[in-house]
Amino acid sequence: MWVAHLSPRHPAQVIVLGFAGAVLIGTALLMLPTSKVGPGSATFLEALFTATSAVCVTGLIVVDTPVYWTGSGHVIILALIQVGGFGIMSFASLLGVLLARRMGLRSRISAAAETKSVGFGDVRGVLLGVLRITLIVEVLTAVVLAARFLLGYGYGVGEAVWLGVFHSISSFNNAGFALFSDNLIGFAGDPWICLPICAAVIIGGLGFPVLFELRRHFRYPRTWHVNTKLVLTGTVILLVLGTVFITAVEWSNPATLGALRPEERLLAGFFQSTMTRTAGFNSVDFAQLNPVTLLAMDVLMFIGGGPAGTAGGLKITTFGVLLFILYTEISGGNAVNIFGKRLPRSVHRQAISIVLLAVGLVISATMFLMLITDFGLDRILFEVISAFATVGLSTGITAGIPPAGQVVLILVMFAGRLGPVTLATALALRSKPLYYEYPKERPLIG
């Protein structure tokens, strides 16, 4: 009987325990002497931080990945990235199956007729669909990158293929780990490296439900689900606004875009706008960015990408729902409508709950790091949001943060990766019909 009480029953518990187990296994593997260059082995905190960053597909590092870890260590990191990215997409998609099965018959029929996309009862089909999309995107990206490393930079066949595979998996899973000490700064002006990585990042960040629906109904946008329309619209808007803002502010900064040719500045601006969607690669030195650029990136990272994908953050859909709630209140409407569909009030509450908890987590972690370090608010806030949104971008302060601060970042990465998914599921599964209501009374607002 006591064993039954210890076994997890809620889907959120299964996800948390599964990812925690992956982190612990990864930590143990990275602590092996064969994983580290030179004598001895990595410390527990170094291994734990790296494993958490890899499983949570973040990309923050406390040691130089290409220099500190051996080839075996790189393989372990890559495996953790793949497990983390595939696991998130699979778990988030399968939670949709669970939620659909918890609906009443009429709601399930309405949902099936409305989405015309994922067969919510087909668990095997969901998993195979995620696997198929993952393999296609990663293989195509790896081929292009390997060819460029081979033909454009003189790497040997084996090394070029390995570089292509590593950065392809890292980019599609929005991880941001690179096998170069300066990340991708050396390729800032190379479209054959930057654009394939951007494409993989964007595709991975859209989310499996969007990709599945686009594959089946690409020619019929009127039939797309509200989720797909929100993600695609928000992705385009944020990419364009981010590119314009970053490029304009950093255009004359000699330490970032100013040292590049005009066409390379545009490429680098687009690249960094894409990476704020939770990927973590950088083609410029973030320590030299204008503070206002860092603040703009804070906003982009906090919003994140699409749900049920490899991107982190609040998710575009959550942010979109909040915007439409705000618009409805300002315009005096009675119901929140998006693309001709009315949102249930439970969705309003879920979005507000996720945002408030996320803000509380970011503020708490930021205040703690400010108490134990001498770094400025802009750099600490950037680091914390990057960890929460599982982005992996950094101004270079990660390794200089005391051990207690690094432990906090580990917790923030873990909560940021699994928090929005598990919290949204928990809230949705806990919703129960009420057969009574209390009398209404309005407090003063504002």
Separation in Å, CA 239 to CA 260, 285, 305, 367: 21, 20, 11, 30
As beta bridge partners, residue 337 has 342
**Per-residue pLDDT, 95:** 56
CA 188 to chain centre: 22
Q: Give tens-digit pLDDT for 311-350.
A: 889 899 999 999 999 999 899 888 888 888 888 887 888 8
What is the C-alpha to C-alpha distance for residues 270 and 279, in angstroms, rounded to an integer?
13
**Per-residue pLDDT, 5:** 46
What is the C-alpha to C-alpha distance for residues 70 and 85, in angstroms, rounded to an integer?
22
H or E element, residue 318: helix 316-331
The answer to whether the CB of 421 falls within 8 A of the CB of 95 is: yes
**Per-residue pLDDT, 429:** 54
**Per-residue pLDDT, 432:** 59
Q: Which of 165, 173, 195 is nearest to 59 (CA)?
A: 173
**Per-residue pLDDT, 2:** 40
The answer to whether the CB of 410 falls within 8 A of the CB of 48 is: yes
The answer to whether the CB of 355 falls within 8 A of the CB of 318 is: yes
What is the C-alpha to C-alpha distance for residues 395 and 367, in angstroms, rounded to an integer?
18
Q: Is 399 exposed, middle or buried (0-12, 13-18, 19+ CB in 10 A)?
A: middle
Give the up-direction half-sphere exposure of residue 224: CA atoms within 13 A in the CB hemisphere: 23
**Per-residue pLDDT, 286:** 94
**Per-residue pLDDT, 86:** 81
**Per-residue pLDDT, 222:** 87
Query: Which parts of the chain register pLDDT below 50?
Result: 1-7, 101-121
The answer to whether the CB of 392 falls within 8 A of the CB of 176 is: yes
Q: Between vectors from CA 177 to CA 176 and to CA 181, what angle results, nearest 5°? A: 120
**Per-residue pLDDT, 363:** 96
**Per-residue pLDDT, 353:** 84
DSSP result, 3-59: HHHHS--SHHHHHHHHHHHHHHHHHHHHTSGGGBSSSS---HHHHHHHHHHHHTT--
